[in-house]
Amino acid sequence: MTSRSQRRLGRSIALHLFLTPLALVWLFPLWMMVVFSTMPDNGIFSPGIELLPHDNFLDNVANLQRDTNFIGAIGISVSVAVTYTVLSVLLTSMAGWALARYEFHGKGAVVAIIFGTITLPYAVVLIPQFIMVARDFGLANTWIALIVPPLFNSLGVLFMRQAFSMMPAELFDAARVEGVKEWRIFLFVALPLARPMLAALAIILFLASWNNYLWPLLINSQPGAMTAPVALGTLIGLTKVSWGGIMAGAVMLTVPMLIVFVLLQRHFIAGIAAGAVK
Amino acid sequence: MRTQNATAYRFLTPYLLVFAIFWIWPIISSFLISFQATRTVPWRFAPTFNWGRLVGDPAFYNALKNTLLILVIQVPVMIALAIVMAVLLNSPLLKARGLYRFAFFAPVVVGEVAYSAVFRLMFSLDFGIINKLLESVGLEKIDWFSNVTPAMAVIMIAVTWRWAGYNAIIILAGLQSIPEDVYEAATLDRVSKLKQFFYITLPLLKPVIVFCAVLSIIGTMQLFTEPFLITERGGPGGGTETLGLLLYRQGFRSLNFGYASAVAYTMAGLAIAITLVQLWLTREPK
């Protein structure tokens, strides 16, 4: 028996000896992001090795704000991500509800088209979307351009369809017998029951919008209309910018999401595990 | 069940409108645009204009080669790493599980721009922390961004860092759906842990791993932000230019929508081929 528990202990030590360095390597870029964001530029570009935070963060934020209106861009990013998340959760859960709970003409076709096109790369729709939104509708550099086109994302539909179809039919039939209207059943019976799935979906959609880069880069390229990642991206590669400032911006984009991740880890992981991203 | 067309479409129509306008129509439209000469006003139908140029364009082959090179090296390394992470995170022997999970899963929430900026700074020639660490252990510093091979390596390292944990989350969910008693039986039969991994875990995980691989291949195939920001527009000298970057350059710098659409449909063709391979690999045995 002793030899068995000794083997267990040996295995446990080996496991931690392997996993700890790997975890430290994985944390290193995030840690350095924080360290850089607290260092003055002449500290970042000095020959010494600095691995601990300094106290220059607020100065760096000021430098960043001098290089680009980052606070304004954060405001746009937050508003867009919140609006997008609410609209997308609503649209995709309504569609998911219809596909899970009703029999109707064309249902098979709708499902087939969603599944059949889901693995097509986003790059395929980029150019027509741009031509349509910028030229045909004249909506470049507006909030609508940032919020509405990405609403096509169909993974929410499949996610919510799955969630609603797992609920027992009796729940809804009882309400129907009492003459409750379908939209009230959806709003007041089905949605509350789907709360964990809605939370997972909302987090994933919010994160996708918050971090979205390519589409906002193309469609909202004017300084006053940029989202925070786009505004930060314009500084990378320029010569006369504060790298401490860029890192402070990276921290402002990342740390709130890390906090949300830690607080709502369960929902995050549920959302990703269900393939609700991309 | 009776059909409920009116009710169903009341719920479905708002989404279907967005889906049709911003997804289905663009898919068709970019296919049509790829057959048009778009730098004349009005555009004219010229079926071989873009596709003819594509098959003879060294820039296209360069971007295709770079993209495939990244795919072939980065995706298998990342998936293998993700499997290792998932299996070890799932071990009952692991203490402080939450800390390890945080370390590997945290990159999932980090945006492309933020992490591109960090990697660019970490790998810079004279003041990058990576070169400083290399020198501190007596190694030569590396000029990461002036040579193609190290520049490609930085891109692959960055993408692997960003996405390994994401795949590990999916694989971990797959692992946790394998019933315990399979392993209990194997342990009673004195099958070693290593053998259990290769003969039980891996075969049962195959559909999940194939799913992750396909997702990663399609994601990596569209790689744009990393070569755009980390290696400065695909540098050095186009050495890290990907199909995504070529599409951006042609479509949105040169405003050559026709040619960019041909590039986009090349990516779509690759994605379709890869999806078919996935369906074949995970088909139900007859």
Residues B87, B189, single domain; the answer is: yes
Q: Give the model's pLDDT for residue A277.
A: 41
**Are the C-beta atoms of B241 and B59 separated by less than 8 Å?**
yes
Residues B1, B95, single domain; the answer is: no
b/e A175-201 (16+ beta carbons within 10 angstroms → b) = beeeeeebeebbeebbbebbeebbbbb
| Contact with chain A for residue B149, Cβ under 8 A | no
B239 inside domain: yes
Q: Give the model's pLDDT for residue B286.
A: 59
- Mean local confidence (pLDDT), B125-141: 91
pLDDT tens, residue by residue, A164-216? 999 999 889 988 898 899 999 999 999 999 999 999 999 999 999 999 999 99
Q: What is the pTM of this model?
A: 0.93
B42 inside domain: no
Q: Give the model's pLDDT for residue A1.
A: 54
DSSP B135-171: HHTTPPP--TTTSHHHHHHHHHHHHHHHHHHHHHHHH
B31 inside domain: no
CATH number of the domain to which A65 belongs: 1.10.3720.10
The runs of H, that is alpha helices, within chain A are 2-37, 41-44, 57-67, 70-101, 107-117, 123-130, 143-147, 155-165, 170-177, 182-185, 191-193, 195-211, 214-219, 228-235, 243-263, 265-273
Residues B21, B77, single domain; the answer is: no
Contact assignment for A47 to B127 by CB distance below 8 Å? yes
Look up tokens 């997702």; give the residue. Answer: B215
B106 inside domain: yes
Residues 6+ apart with CB under 8 A from B34: B50, B51, B258, B261, B262, B264, B265
B125 inside domain: no
Count of domains for chain A:
1
Count of domains for chain B:
2
Contact assignment for A127 to B109 by CB distance below 8 Å? no
| Contact with chain A for residue B122, Cβ under 8 A | yes
Domain that residue B2 falls in: 1-25
Quick one: pLDDT band at residue A244, thresholds 50, 70, 90? very high
B252 inside domain: yes
A23 inside domain: no
| Contact with chain A for residue B16, Cβ under 8 A | yes
**Are the C-beta atoms of B11 and A164 separated by less than 8 Å?**
no
B119 inside domain: no
- Percent of residues, chain A, with pLDDT higher than 90: 77
ipTM of the complex: 0.91
pLDDT tens, residue by residue, A4-62? 788 889 889 999 999 999 999 999 999 999 999 999 988 888 888 888 999 999 999 99
Q: Assess whether pLDDT exceeds 70 at residue B49.
A: yes
pLDDT tens, residue by residue, A9-21? 988 999 999 999 9
| Contact with chain A for residue B113, Cβ under 8 A | yes
Residues in chain B: 286
> Nearest CA to A18 among B157, B133, B153, B89?
B89
CA atoms within 13 A on the CB side of A150: 29
Mean pLDDT of chain A: 92
Q: Give the model's pLDDT for residue A276.
A: 44
Q: How many CB pairs under 8 A join A and B?
A: 277
Q: Give the model's pLDDT for residue B179.
A: 86
Number of C-beta neighbours around residue B157 at 10 A: 19
Q: Assess whether pLDDT exceeds 90 at residue A97.
A: yes
Using a CB-CB cut-off of 8 Å, the residues of chain B touching A151 are: 15, 18, 22
Q: Give the model's pLDDT for residue A278.
A: 38
Q: Give the model's pLDDT for residue A2.
A: 67
The partner residue sitting opposite A123, judged by closest CB among B94, B172, B267, is B267
Q: Give the model's pLDDT for residue A49.
A: 86
Number of H helices, E strands in chain B: 14, 2
DSSP, collapsed to helix, strand or coil, labels residue A271 as: helix
Quick one: pLDDT band at residue B83, thresholds 50, 70, 90? very high
| Lowest-pLDDT range of A68-72, B22-26, B32-36, B235-239 | B235-239
> Nearest CA to A190 among A150, A152, A163, A216?
A163
Using a CB-CB cut-off of 8 Å, the residues of chain B touching A47 are: 126-127, 132
Contact assignment for A102 to B8 by CB distance below 8 Å? yes
Contact assignment for A121 to B221 by CB distance below 8 Å? yes
Token pair listed for B45? 């139908």
Residues in chain A: 278
Domain that residue A122 falls in: 59-273
CATH number of the domain to which B254 belongs: 1.10.3720.10
- Mean local confidence (pLDDT), B190-214: 89
Residues B185, B109, single domain; the answer is: yes
Mean pLDDT of chain B: 92
Contact assignment for B94 to A16 by CB distance below 8 Å? yes
Residues B1, B63, single domain; the answer is: no
A242 inside domain: yes
- Percent of residues, chain B, with pLDDT higher than 70: 98
Number of C-beta neighbours around residue A103 at 10 A: 11
Residues B163, B230, single domain; the answer is: yes
Q: Assess whether pLDDT exceeds 90 at residue B133.
A: yes
Q: Assess whether pLDDT exceeds 60 at residue B1.
A: no
Q: Give the model's pLDDT for residue A115.
A: 87
A167 inside domain: yes
- Mean local confidence (pLDDT), A136-148: 96
Contact assignment for B114 to A15 by CB distance below 8 Å? no
Residues B2, B77, single domain; the answer is: no
